[in-house]
Amino acid sequence: MDANGTRFQLLLGRDDWARCLQVDAPPGTTLPRLGDIWSRIEKKEDPPSPPRLAWDAEAAELTLQPKLFHFLAAPRDVAPGLEARRGAGRDRYGNTYWIGDDRRSLRVQSSGSGTVSLFWPEELPSAGPSQEGGFGPVQPPAPPAPPLLCGLAVTSHHYLVVGSVEPAGLLVFDLHAGGPPLRILWPPGVADPFDLAATPDGGVLVLDQDHRRYWRLDAGFHALPSGADLVLEEEREETFQPTDKRFLRKTLARTFPQGVSLEAASPSPAPGPIAIEALADGRVLVLDRGGTDSRVLLYKDGVLQGNPVPLVFVGHDFAFLPAGSDGSGPEATSQILGRLYVVSAEGNQTFSFLVEEKKAAPGQLLLTQSTDYFPMRLFGGKALVTGQGRLFYDFPDGFIPLVPQRRPRYETEAVLLTPIFDGRTPDCVWHRLFLDACMPPGTSVQVRSRTANELAKVELAPWNPEPGFNYLRSDGSELPWVPPPSGEHRGTWELLFQRARGRHLQVELTLRGPGNATPRVQALRAYYPRFSYAERYLPAIYRQEPDAASFLERFLANMEGFFTTLEDRIAAAQVLFDARTAPAETLDWLAGWFGLVLDPAWDEPRRRLLLRHAVDFFQWRGTPRGLRMALRLALDDCPDESIFQEKEPLGSPIRIVEHFRAVQVAAVPQPQASTSGIRAVVVRTRWEPSQGGASLTERYRKALAEAGLSPEPQRFPLQAPEDAGAAEVWHTFSRTVLGFVPASSPENEKQWRQFLARRYRRMGELNGAWGTGYADLSQVSLPSTLPGDGAALVDWYQFSSVVLPLLRAAHRFSVVLPVPGGQTAEQHLTRREQARRLVELEKPAHTVFDVKFYWTLVRVGDARLGVDTLVTLGSRAPELMLAMVLGRGHLSESYLAAGHPQDVADRHILGRDRLASIPTHRSDLR
């Protein structure tokens, strides 16, 4: 409701727009609701009508139905044939391997330099120079030609597996250890590898296109059985037998797994399999190519699952990217398996499909085609490769990423009917229609309306054309204090109803576009009834002529719209005083009420959070907790309400360490109560005043003698000797025996007299305790030699061991910040400077501080438990750190990586791994 009492009907969000009707059904039939069409599509069912409008869930907008962009091949384009398929793979470090054009060599593209080089063999065989004449040096025999190769994959255990056609078998390269390949020969005539795919368990799938079969190999590259094995040689009796005929010697039959037959699958065999991929759960996807289309088949344990899913084009190759852990929730009707990318036979475009499986029908694949456009320029046809969650295809000299490009295509026109709005009063004059939308050039939204006083007569009422949304409000939405729209051609579009008079109103919207753009509608508001300036402020004579009254009514409505906007902003001024509702441009003004100046670098949520809790922040200002609040508010990636909780959470990542808390002072001996029986005697290694000054001097003389120095002093000195050797012994002895290093400097005289004044309130008490005759404290200086036994020695000991350390640490603190991971040294310095400037503003004026970074790993001797340490798994633990990289890592932030083979985490190393963790099955030993 606005300031004049005019209300509005609102369409906002998917549920509201789903109530609208799509106008494309034949005459006489019921118009389908948009919600029914969208729900059928989401359930992978046929909608009641072809969709013309779509809901963009990410932007929460209504658009024309997106369409797939088809690349039109040029007349001279040559499509790659199946003979161009070579096979390619990408390892965990980003290096890409593929079979060369000669089909007898392997090429590699380095992830670091991007250069392409020969991977295997070390050099290609070439014919030696011809020798003329009958005599000459003997030429060494030429090395054997490499086998004919087809199909390639890199396993999860970092093996490069290449299919060999002549002879049939596999070449296995250990990418960790290097060296020549391991050749695994298969029986001749059994299989001719065409495509290979890695399985999640470290094995390989081998597809034979000619024989229409595929094999599954385990991590040890042994063919797993699938049904009856193929008999290569029958069992036979040997020629030579024992003379006593106690047993019969036989040669066992030679067998080989015959694999999974794709031709024998019923009821839908795969006569033309050309590509194979493995799912995360062990199932297998096969791309079957026909003459005019292709199909995707799903196999589990060699058995076809569900019905094949047809494609509307001919495929050349495909690749599969599994979904993450959030593929589907428990309330979803289908499980998202991942995305399938299929290359068209023309070789100029890849199509993307969302792969799902209905929970009610396990084994039946659902492929939802995406409208993303993946162009492939100069695709050679070798392979489509996945690695690190991305796709790559072969360019003339290497592999480049496959990325989508914006080529949007939409329906050119769609018509919808809104629900019937109720104006609550008969002959209601509908006022304005507002549309929050984005209308790029070439797009438009046309409007028609019909009204009636009775609900049943609305569908019989004639349609009245409205002016259309031709006016974009320059000041944004008509709603008060709504943030202005961001983006080009986006805003609030407005029209004035011309002849909409009646209690019930229905609006028809026609969305049009050129095919490559669409109107994007977010919300619709229909205001009623009209607040008439002519009726309120002009005499009735101005309304006698119908035509003139209609013109005057619409003319004055323009004025009413201008003033109502101002009146609404005045009436809704209270939103300016709430940090949750105030516009972003008014936050600095609102902060001025608290005397705050907001940091220009802060984002809007951070500013609103501080303004909402300004009172809580001010009451803790100048305290350690207040400093932590300010630092977390400025430095946390996602600050939330927990910063200002009444009870501060344990384990705060930002710590304020007051220096006096970490001072280690000498313990004051406590008198022990007299007890009967055996009494425990504590042997003290440190000297105490009760032991007397002579005892301290004697121990010091023994320390000098043990160090080979002359024990000259008659009294323990309170200053370091001039001799370097004696000074080192003096410092070590002081820290070990006294627990502190004596310091007697002129700047400590004032603190010494203040200490005595607090302990002895009168000079008589001091002189009585010390046995002296001082007139006032100005005559009492800080001892430069060890005082005599008694009260003077005790006073000096407590002042030097307790008072001075606390005075040095008073009003000093350190701000320790967690080291942010993955940032450069420059970013660390910037973060430290931000914290320093903030603490300088918020700390008490008499304090001194410094800012440091810390690692959460506890180190004995460097941390004080319970004050400035968080006992947890630290960021310096090797499990969470990366190996040191030259020129990129700091020495204290990384560790030296072990060499091969100790750096191979997915292989069992003798002497490194526990015996219980080593597999016993021969297929798992590598």
Mean predicted confidence (pLDDT) in 889-912: 54
pLDDT tens sequence across 493-520: 999 998 899 999 999 999 999 999 999 9
Q: Classify residue 83 by its DSSP letter.
A: G
- Mean residue pLDDT of the chain comes to 83
Residue 11 lies in a domain: yes
pLDDT value, residue 382? 93
pLDDT value, residue 782? 86
Is the per-residue pLDDT at 299 higher than 60?
A: yes
Tokens of residue 11, six digits: 């369409």
Is the per-residue pLDDT at 820 higher than 60?
A: yes
pLDDT tens sequence across 793-807: 999 898 888 888 888
CA distance 17 to 512: 18
Mean predicted confidence (pLDDT) in 362-368: 89
CA distance 423 to 439: 29
Residue 795 lies in a domain: no
Which of the listed ranges 554-558, 623-627, 739-743, 818-822 does the model predict with the highest average pLDDT? 623-627
Which residues, other chains included, contact 452 with Cβ-Cβ below 8 Å and sequence gap of 6+? 458, 460, 461, 502, 503, 504
pLDDT tens sequence across 162-196: 999 988 999 999 998 888 999 999 988 888 899 99
Residue 265 lies in a domain: no
- Which of 301-315, 445-459, 884-898 has the least mean pLDDT? 884-898
Q: Are 278 and 287 in contact (CB under 8 A)?
A: no
Mean predicted confidence (pLDDT) in 292-315: 90
Q: Give the burial class of 178: count Cβ atoms within 10 A of its Cβ; 0-12 exposed, 13-18 middle, 19 or more buried.
A: exposed
Whole-number percent of the chain with pLDDT over 70: 84
Whole-number percent of the chain with pLDDT over 90: 34
745 C-beta neighbours (distance < 10 Å), count? 9
- Positive or negative CA dihedral for 729, 734, 736, 740? negative
pLDDT value, residue 881? 40
Mean predicted confidence (pLDDT) in 450-457: 94
pLDDT value, residue 907? 63
pLDDT confidence tier of residue 350, bands split at 50, 70 and 90: very high
pLDDT value, residue 889? 47
CA distance 492 to 436: 4
Is the per-residue pLDDT at 439 higher than 90?
A: yes
- Positive or negative CA dihedral for 18, 20, 23, 27? positive
CA distance 373 to 351: 7
388 C-beta neighbours (distance < 10 Å), count? 11
Phi first, then psi, for residue 819 (nearest 5°) are -70, 120
Judging by DSSP bridges, how do beta strands 61-64 and 21-22 pair with one another?
unpaired
CA distance 104 to 739: 77
pLDDT tens sequence across 843-891: 888 889 888 887 655 444 444 445 444 444 334 343 334 445 554 444 4
Residue 712 lies in a domain: no
The residue range of the domain holding 463 is 7-65+410-531
pLDDT value, residue 27? 64
- Positive or negative CA dihedral for 371, 375, 379, 385? negative
pLDDT value, residue 533? 77
Q: Classify residue 738 by its DSSP letter.
A: I
CA distance 696 to 786: 10
pLDDT confidence tier of residue 897, bands split at 50, 70 and 90: low
Q: For the sheet containing 260-261, what is the strand order?
A: 195-198, 204-208, 213-217, 260-261
pLDDT value, residue 267? 61
pLDDT tens sequence across 226-269: 877 888 788 888 888 888 878 888 888 888 888 898 876 556 67
Is the per-residue pLDDT at 106 higher than 70?
A: yes
Is the per-residue pLDDT at 325 higher than 60?
A: no
pLDDT value, residue 542? 75
pLDDT confidence tier of residue 126, bands split at 50, 70 and 90: low
Q: Are 151 and 207 in contact (CB under 8 A)?
A: yes
CA atoms within 13 A on the CB side of 110: 8
CA atoms within 13 A on the CB side of 712: 7
CA distance 923 to 187: 20
Q: Are 199 and 221 in contact (CB under 8 A)?
A: no
- DSSP characters over 841-891: HHS-TT-EEEEEEE-SS--TTT--TTTS---S--TTSGGG-PBP-TTTS-G
In 538-650, which residue ranges form alpha helices assigned H by DSSP? 546-571, 587-592, 604-612, 614-619, 624-635
Q: Please give the tally of structural domains in the chain.
A: 1
Residue 225: which of 256, 192, 252 has the closest Cα?
Answer: 256
pLDDT value, residue 475? 81
pLDDT tens sequence across 575-617: 888 888 888 888 999 999 888 888 888 889 999 999 999 988 8
Is the per-residue pLDDT at 273 higher than 50?
A: yes
Tokens of residue 599, six digits: 């940091």
Q: Are 280 and 357 in contact (CB under 8 A)?
A: no
pLDDT confidence tier of residue 327, bands split at 50, 70 and 90: very low
CA distance 569 to 797: 74
pTM: 0.64
Q: Are 868 and 816 in contact (CB under 8 A)?
A: yes
Residue of higher predicted confidence among 811 and 820: 811
Mean predicted confidence (pLDDT) in 442-461: 94
pLDDT value, residue 318? 96
Round the CA-based radius of gyration of the chain to a whole number and report it: 43
pLDDT value, residue 910? 58
CA atoms within 13 A on the CB side of 866: 2
Is the per-residue pLDDT at 917 higher than 50?
A: no
- DSSP characters over 792-823: HHHHHHHIIIIIHHHHHHTTEEEEEEEPPTT-
Residue 815: which of 634, 599, 645 has the closest Cα?
Answer: 634
Phi/psi zone of residue 118: left (φ > 0), alpha (ψ -120 to 50 degrees), beta?
Answer: beta
CATH number at residue 26: 2.60.120
Tokens of residue 472, six digits: 């974009």
CA atoms within 13 A on the CB side of 500: 31
Q: Quick one: CA torsion of 789, 791, 797, 802, rounded to 10 degrees?
A: 170
pLDDT confidence tier of residue 125, bands split at 50, 70 and 90: low
pLDDT confidence tier of residue 909, bands split at 50, 70 and 90: low
Residue 569 lies in a domain: no
- Which of 91-95, 401-405, 680-684 has the least mean pLDDT? 680-684
Mean predicted confidence (pLDDT) in 265-278: 79
Residue 275: which of 208, 337, 223 has the closest Cα?
Answer: 208
pLDDT tens sequence across 713-741: 678 888 888 888 888 998 999 888 888 88
pLDDT value, residue 143? 67
pLDDT confidence tier of residue 674, bands split at 50, 70 and 90: very low
pLDDT value, residue 96? 96
Residue 585 lies in a domain: no
Residue of higher predicted confidence among 330 and 200: 200
CA distance 291 to 300: 26
CA distance 531 to 428: 11
pLDDT confidence tier of residue 330, bands split at 50, 70 and 90: very low
Residue 477: which of 485, 469, 489 has the closest Cα?
Answer: 485
Which residues, other chains included, contact 168 with Cβ-Cβ below 8 Å and sequence gap of 6+? 185, 186, 187, 188, 189, 190, 191, 192, 193
